[in-house]
Amino acid sequence: MTLKTLPLGVIGLVLAAAGAVAYSLVPEKLWLTGLLEGVALLCFLISVIAHFSGLKAFSARRSTRVGANSLLMILLFVGILVIVNFLAARHSIRWDLSENQNFTLAPQTHRLLRSLPRDVTITVFTREKDPGYQSYKERLDSYRQASSKISVEFVDPERQPKIAQQYGITRTDTAVFESAGQSVRVSAPSEVELTGALIRVSQDGKKRVLFLEGHGEPSLDDRERTGLSAAREILFKQGYDVGTLSLLKEPVVPDRTAILVVAGPRRPVTAEEQERIHTYVEKGGHLLLLIDPDTQADLNPLLKRWGLGVGPGALVDLQDRLAQGDLTSLLVRTFTEHEITQDLSAAVLFPLARHITFDEQAGSAWDFVPLARTSPNSWAETDLKGRVVNLDEKEDIKGPLPMAAAIAPKVAPEEGKPRPAVVVIGNSTFATNAFVNFPGNSDFFLHSAGWLAEERNILAIVPRDSALRPFTPNPLQERALLYLQVILLPAAMVFSGFIVWRRRRRL
């Protein structure tokens, strides 16, 4: 038997296939795969040398050249497809055609994913037939494409019960976020839940938010309409540690308090408490004040130290208000350019608000920014006893007027020292359970908290969920819709019908 008669080509193909099988079965034994593939390549080379004259004559034929040309075109086409698929995998483009942009990540979520400090592993325990499987898959694909530090694994707890038992999974549709020894679980595939878990697991410590109590403030545990349990839950989902503080019992605001919230006190805040709050802010603290009209909580002595104040009465707006609502139910759409308001797209509902004042001389060291204003067709009504219908220029204060403001020092603090900041909002009801889920209210509340907590890289993650966002007209828009739909359109149909009837009678 000679080299020409020996089927070296067939032997090479068999050895090459054996090498591929060996790599798939025992990938750790690379020497075996390398040996098989090397012998296969040697067989191919020997076969080509032994049949060189025959291959030369075969390649000179016209049919061979035509076939080779066709084979080359096929290979080029396949190569183009491979390159296109490779580029698509590395730089994928997705179009979200859903009405509410259900599968588009919020800008704040993208900001968080770009600034992830370390790798995060997400293990989703769900089955393909479970209702949350597809939602988890679509949303987490978007997270994974936005950051290379996100890795996702889907585990069927029925097919892999040992893994589910290891994690202590008792129900499906549960996602476990893990990073640097920390673990957070979520049970809903919404972007709010997923992004909140991502924040908590990727940070070494939680920023603490304390709500002042002892003056008739709404309770964080109250789940009724007037409580703040929903606001606490929203803050918790964004990675904050939420608690309460009584300065009647504590001599100072605890260290490492990221934000001190004074939300809707009804009874007076003592001078000693106000002094402790002022000391906390002057040392670099961050204060969020939610002050309602017509309360006994007199915080003006504290506010005057920064040049701030709260005006008398309640705000009335004939233009930017809730349609069919009270004249004092403000639907604010006018915002000043600021980090707090930069991503606000929905109106904020302030029921019964008061306006904020600022004395430039007393607060010369502070940079004052009014965050939200009423329209020019507004005023501060000082007589709350009777029904509000008209502006009394002698007693009332003409708008536009700010009902929310932020201050920060004009001169930046020394490097390494915290920057004090204060946000004052002339209403606390907007953050209660009855109103915090109104479009725009939770956004404004969390944006304020995010700015105070100095989280500018992820400022108040408020992702967009697939929720109904109703159109809320103001009184002017309501009247326009009434005239258009109830009067003009029916009248136009009657008139056009009459014209058609007249023309047909003349035929």
Q: Which fold has domain 107-186?
A: Glutaredoxin (3.40.30)
Confidence at residue 214, expressed as pLDDT on a 0 to 100 scale: 93
Q: Which of 194-208, 222-236, 453-467 has the highest average model confidence (pLDDT)?
A: 222-236
Confidence at residue 456, expressed as pLDDT on a 0 to 100 scale: 56
For 251, 373, 403, the CA distances from 318, given in Å and listed in that order, are: 45, 13, 16
Confidence at residue 469, expressed as pLDDT on a 0 to 100 scale: 54
Please say if the pLDDT value at position 356 is more than 80: yes
Q: Give the least confident one: 60-69, 248-257, 393-402, 445-454.
A: 60-69
Domain edges within the chain: 8-90, 107-186, 206-452, 476-507
Q: What are phi and psi of 289, to 5 degrees?
A: -110, 125
Q: Give residue-wise pLDDT tens across range 402-420.
A: 999 999 999 888 887 889 9
Confidence at residue 353, expressed as pLDDT on a 0 to 100 scale: 92
Q: Give the least confident one: 41-45, 313-317, 405-409, 462-466.
A: 462-466
> Whole-angstrom Cα distance, residue 218 to residue 224?
10
Confidence at residue 102, expressed as pLDDT on a 0 to 100 scale: 61
Confidence at residue 210, expressed as pLDDT on a 0 to 100 scale: 96
Name the token pair of 458.
């992820």
Q: What is the mean pLDDT of residues 152-156?
A: 94
Name the token pair of 222.
């109250």
Q: Which of 19 and 61 is assigned the larger pLDDT?
A: 19
Please say if the pLDDT value at position 346 is more than 90: no
By percentage, how much of the chain surpasses pLDDT 70?
A: 89
Helices (H), 362-465: 441-452
Q: Give residue-wise pLDDT tens across range 218-272.
A: 999 999 999 999 999 888 877 788 999 999 999 999 988 999 999 999 999 999 9
Please say if the pLDDT value at position 388 is more than 70: no
Confidence at residue 463, expressed as pLDDT on a 0 to 100 scale: 47
Please say if the pLDDT value at position 464 is more than 60: no
> Whole-angstrom Cα distance, residue 472 to residue 324?
10
Please say if the pLDDT value at position 460 is more than 50: no
Q: Give residue-wise pLDDT tens across range 100-114.
A: 556 677 777 888 888
pTM equals 0.65
Binning pLDDT at 50, 70 and 90, where does residue 466 land?
A: very low
Binning pLDDT at 50, 70 and 90, where does residue 180 land?
A: confident
pLDDT, averaged across the chain: 84
Confidence at residue 260, expressed as pLDDT on a 0 to 100 scale: 96
Confidence at residue 91, expressed as pLDDT on a 0 to 100 scale: 60
> Whole-angstrom Cα distance, residue 94 to residue 74?
29
Please say if the pLDDT value at position 191 is more than 50: yes
Q: Give residue-wise pLDDT tens across range 305-344.
A: 999 999 988 898 888 887 666 778 888 888 988 888 877 7
Q: Give residue-wise pLDDT tens across range 267-293.
A: 999 999 999 999 999 999 999 999 998
What letter represents residue 414's amino acid? E
| Cis peptide preceding 400, ω within 30 of 0 | yes
Please say if the pLDDT value at position 130 is more than 50: yes
Binning pLDDT at 50, 70 and 90, where does residue 5 land?
A: low
Q: Give the least confident one: 4-18, 294-308, 485-499.
A: 4-18
* Nearest to 453, CA basis, from 268, 276, 199: 199
Domain boundaries 206-452, corresponding CATH code? 3.40.50.880
Q: Give the least confident one: 158-172, 183-197, 367-381.
A: 183-197
Kind and range of the H or E run holding 55: helix 52-60
For 55, 286, 361, 452, the CA distances from 104, given in Å and listed in that order, are: 58, 33, 47, 27
